[in-house]
Structure 1
């Protein structure tokens, strides 16, 4: 991995549920941490779903390996875009480099 390519500061988040003092369920995104990564837009397309056009943008996020990343987590990129993690891939299976296949949420 070329560390010079990790030039984007990203935030990793995980969806959590907890109960407050009144017993109400609070759902929020908890920050797992910030790290340096390379965010690359890979594909963009529009699909026709439920009689309306839905735009999807697919990204790859390359970063140093972390074993705590799940497919249900999300990334906030250096522009403030929200990227849902669809698949985390351990490149080479050696625990050195992680590639996240993501889908942009909203615009």
Structure 2
């Protein structure tokens, strides 16, 4: 991966339930990291292969390797929101992470 392709600024957040004043709970995204990424829409064969992983994915988001990224977190890009379905550390090289995501509508 050419790091020059990491040209989209994303925010990775974890959605936590927080008690509100009325005694109920609200879900609020808490920031984990802001980083540069490459965002690719999966097309044709890639999408079909991703479907074989047993969960639906629509985008591959590539970031530099960092510890602490989990499937329970959410990626925000502009006004768009992506659920992380799979995390792939290619060749266990700890250089880049590929986040296979499903865009929330």
What interval of TM-score do these two structures reach, taking the shorter chain for normalisation?
0.7 to 0.9
For residues 15-68 of structure 1, give each alpha carbon's deviation from its aligned partner in whole angstroms, at most 9, with x where no partner exists: 1123356654332111112100000011489xxxxxxxxxx8700000101121
**Structure 1 match to 2:66:** 66
Task: Say which structure is richer in helix.
Answer: 2
* Counterpart Cα distance in 2 of 1:73 and 1:43: 24
Q: Which runs of 5+ in 1 are unaligned?
A: 46-55
Q: Does 1:6 align with 2:6?
A: yes
Q: CA RMSD in A?
A: 2.2
SS in 1 for 2:93: coil
* Counterpart Cα distance in 2 of 1:43 and 1:76: 21
Query: Highest Rg: 1 or 2?
Result: 1
Shift in Å, 1:88: 1.0
**Structure 2 match to 1:82:** 81
The answer to whether the 8 Å contact 2:37/2:61 transfers is yes
> TM-score, structure 1 length as denominator?
0.76
SS in 2 for 1:70: coil
Q: Which runs of 5+ in 2 are unaligned?
A: 48-55
Q: Does 1:93 align with 2:96?
A: no
The answer to whether the 8 Å contact 1:41/1:57 transfers is no
The answer to whether the 8 Å contact 1:62/1:98 transfers is yes
* Counterpart Cα distance in 2 of 1:11 and 1:66: 13
